[in-house]
Amino acid sequence: MIDDITRISDAAPALVLAATTIDQLRGVESDLLGKRGSLTELKKGLGALDADGRREVGAALNVARASIEQVIETRRLELESVERAATIAAERLDLTEITTSRPRGTTHLVTQTWDRLVDVFVGMGFTVAEGPEVETDWYNFEALNIPAAHPARGMWDTLYVDLGDPETVLLRTHTSPVQIRVMTETPPPIYAVMPGRVYRRDTADATHMPVFHQIEGLVIDRAISFADMAGTLESFTSAYFGGSIHSRLRPSYFPFTEPSAEYDINCVFCEGKGCRTCSQTGWLELGGCGMVHPNVLRNVGLDGEEWTGFAFGFGLDRLALMRHGVDDIREMYTGDLRFLEQFPS
């Protein structure tokens, strides 16, 4: 029996090496060591031996098994790495075709402006919020101190959505409703800007589009004054337009602020000398602002004795036009590449 064991054990390495796949190796392993394998068959003969014989042959069987297992394991590692390399080679993707150069697009001027404005305000410590474009009358008007039939409703030519009771659901006419949402959802202090798309029943011309963008600002804290607002807007102006452009505030009227003001900057076309774009005034009007009206604070459940604040709303497209010296807002929306390509991001 010892001879048989030696024969099997000596022959094993050649058999193992002859296996060229993991499957074949598994076959060889089972032929040698499996339930019906040659070593296992020999082991069955142990019962017929005396105690000494059993010990001797048993030990030889164990040695043979261990050395065969070792050879198989080594071969398995070899074959696995060969097969892995083959799989990788077979699954290799040829990506060279994609390197043929295609012109790279850029973000739209509106998107660039949006991002830049948000960057400037985030740099000043503001957070960013957004709200829905389809709004209810409450958020767009009522909560902003503009009740139904108030003459100020005429300031916004509203597009209504045919949903629910007549004139209760609309396309927001400004980003101011997001102020209401922010004040309702977050306890003060609040320092937030709210960029977004807005809609008005307007005919497109050089200064109007029925769909355009605004960026709203809101600050609510203790002891906020008109001077804080003026300072914030002046800082914003020089951060966005550069140090040579300044801001001024003119008295105005908005139902949701008291006092209210119009925010102007030096004309970027003539730098204040007076030109056609600024109607010879040297100033360009960019938006409205003011101290948040006590009725608005009441509508969102804030105590006007404890909290005060200011708000502002600018035309985002208009800011972009002014910054880049473009004199017709429609240019932004025709999709003309000759225009868009002048603003690579």
Both tokens of residue 264? 């102007």
Should residue 311 be labelled a site residue for ligand DAH when binding is judged by CB under 6 A? yes
Phi, psi for residue 216 in degrees, rounded to 5: -100, 150
Closest CB to ligand DAH among residues 9, 113: 113
Q: How far apart are CA 324 and CA 109, in angstroms?
A: 10
Should residue 312 be labelled a site residue for ligand DAH when binding is judged by CB under 6 A? yes
Q: In the complex, what is the shortest distance from the CB of residue 115 to ligand DAH, in angstroms, rounded to a whole number?
A: 21
Q: Are 197 and 212 in contact (CB under 8 A)?
A: yes
Should residue 188 be labelled a site residue for ligand DAH when binding is judged by CB under 6 A? no
Stretch that binds ligand DAH, among 36-44, 106-114, 272-280, 281-289 (CB under 6 A): 281-289
Q: In the complex, what is the shortest distance from the CB of residue 156 to ligand DAH, in angstroms, rounded to a whole number?
A: 7
Should residue 288 be labelled a site residue for ligand DAH when binding is judged by CB under 6 A? yes
**For residues 242-261, which are near ligand DAH according to CB under 6 A?**
254, 257
Should residue 174 be labelled a site residue for ligand DAH when binding is judged by CB under 6 A? yes
Closest CB to ligand DAH among residues 32, 209: 209
- Answer for which of 37, 188, 196, 313 binds ligand DAH (CB under 6 A) is 313
Mention every residue, 6+ apart, whose C-beta is less than 8 A from residue 82.
none
- Answer for which of 136, 140, 145, 176 binds ligand DAH (CB under 6 A) is 176
Mention every residue, 6+ apart, whose C-beta is less than 8 A from residue 201.
157, 158, 159, 210
Residue among 176, 171, 177 nearest 159 (CA): 171
Beta-strand runs (E) in the chain: 127-128, 134-136, 159-160, 169-171, 190-199, 211-221, 247-254, 257-266, 283-292, 308-315
| Residues contributing to the site for ligand DAH (CB under 6 A) | 174, 176, 216, 254, 257, 287-290, 311-313
